[in-house]
Amino acid sequence: MMNRLSAIALAVLCASPAAAGDVPWAERAINSHVDQSKLTGTLDRAALDALIASGERLFGAKFTELDGAGRKMATQAIIPTKRKRPPDNIFQRIAGTESNSCSSCHREPVMGGAGDFTVNVFVNEGFTNADFDTTDPQFSNERNTNHLMGAGLVELLAREMTADLHAIRKAALHAARQKGEPVTAALETKGVGFGRITALPDGILDLHEIEGVDTDLVVRPFSQKGVMTSLRQFTINAMNQHHGMEAEERFGARWTGEADFDEDGHAHELSDGDISALVAWQASRPAPTVMQPADAAWQAAAKQGSTAFDAIGCNSCHVRALPLKSLDFADPGPFDAAGTLRAGEIEGAVYDLSLLDWTKTLERNDKGEVLVPLFGDLKRHVITDRQVAALGNELLSQRFVERNEFQTTEIWGIGSTAPYGHRGDFTTLDGVIRAHGGEARASRDAYIGLDDGARSALIAYLKTLVIEP
């Protein structure tokens, strides 16, 4: 529960009313908007708590048509796109809108968690072009809902890794120009290798040996394909696609020339500050933990399984922890692109995640860096081959990423987030491990080669990676 100071801070942040003349029983979810102009500099604990509280209310809100839910004359496309005619129904399971609340999908075992198969979403051609009403895999990829716990740490890691890769690129170009000959540089950051680049003296870059990241060397840590740069970008996309709630910073007059782009009679549906509140709430979600089972047999099995996890090479992609230098979460971030607020356009705010109690429990290395226990590498990998292809169920490419390439799933919290796989169609951990092909084939084969007891022990260990209730 917020203290009195936090309540005052919340009142200041939410000074902008959603609509004049509202009564307490009005059938709307948003009664006031967060004022972005109040979000500058590093927020103190009271202001941060207030912003997080606003974000939690928005994440759990069930939006109604009085808030602007539904997109009468706008498609789900991430680039504001008009429909030719209004839809027959506001709700449409495949193209959207298909949900009332963020928490209706991100709900297990806590708000911000994962989703069951029943709340799968569809990433289809309409994401960038128009509306589609088919689940045919030629046009639509069906995806299970990922959890958002520890999401702020993930984005901060991606920002630091991107900065490292850009510094390597800059140094290679400088060296090639100085030497007058090609210079090849390894793209490695935080122990994760992304291939190599070769810089030529004339400033041209040979990019064909880059691995697992876009050629602009921006690590995009969100979505199962690793194509979303930031929580801000992800939030704006999802609000429009799933709820028909348009963020002013993308769908407002600044970009579209219209205050009510979707022509539903409601302008200014989500303020810049509302999006910032949603980002702050997601960025502040506690990281999953490693549970200590009360059962002695489970403890022993998990210890054995932890050793097997490394021995068969699972940790080559599901890296146990990556080091993070700073817990300062700037919003907007340094790599936010057009369609979101950007750091060069406004002062923005910094959310100091070290103020949150749960971050104080994270381990640090001898350099003082936070060890983020995400069990991932924020890199894309080919995950199928001709013999083992179950995880390659998608025929539609997304953002130029090959169909059989997916970003390594961060498996912290996996013990709390069944079902498994990109589509959520594996009911057991054993099943999804056996489905690993491509670059993970050797580890998968090694797992199958273990005896029954060793395989059971590995599952026992994975079951200790949980989201605390």
Joined tokens for residue 259: 């205050």
Q: What is the pLDDT of residue 4?
A: 44
Q: What is the pLDDT of residue 127?
A: 57
Share of the chain above pLDDT 90, in %: 81
State the pTM of this model.
0.94
Joined tokens for residue 151: 């999401």
125 — pLDDT class (breaks 50, 70, 90): low
Mean pLDDT of 418-447: 97
304-361 pLDDT, tens digit per residue, is: 999 999 999 999 999 999 999 999 999 999 999 889 999 888 999 999 999 999 999 9
**399 pLDDT exceeds 90?**
no
Q: What is the pLDDT of residue 44?
A: 97
Joined tokens for residue 40: 């500058």
Map out the domains of the chain as residue ranges: 4-146+228-283, 151-206, 289-325+369-466
20-48 pLDDT, tens digit per residue, is: 456 878 899 999 999 999 999 999 999 99
- Higher pLDDT: 282 or 14? It is 282
Q: What is the pLDDT of residue 8?
A: 45
Count Cα neighbours of 269 within 13 Å in the Cβ-side half-sphere.
Answer: 28
Q: What is the pLDDT of residue 212?
A: 97
* Euclidean distance between CA atoms 47 and 27, whole angstroms: 28
Joined tokens for residue 150: 């520890």
Mean pLDDT of 117-142: 74
Q: What is the pLDDT of residue 9?
A: 57
Mean pLDDT of 125-154: 79
Q: Are 94 and 80 in contact (CB under 8 A)?
A: no
From first CA to last CA, the distance across the chain in angstroms is: 17
Mean pLDDT of 60-76: 95
* Euclidean distance between CA atoms 220 and 209, whole angstroms: 19
Topology of domain 289-325+369-466 in CATH is: Cytochrome Bc1 Complex; Chain D, domain 2 (1.10.760)
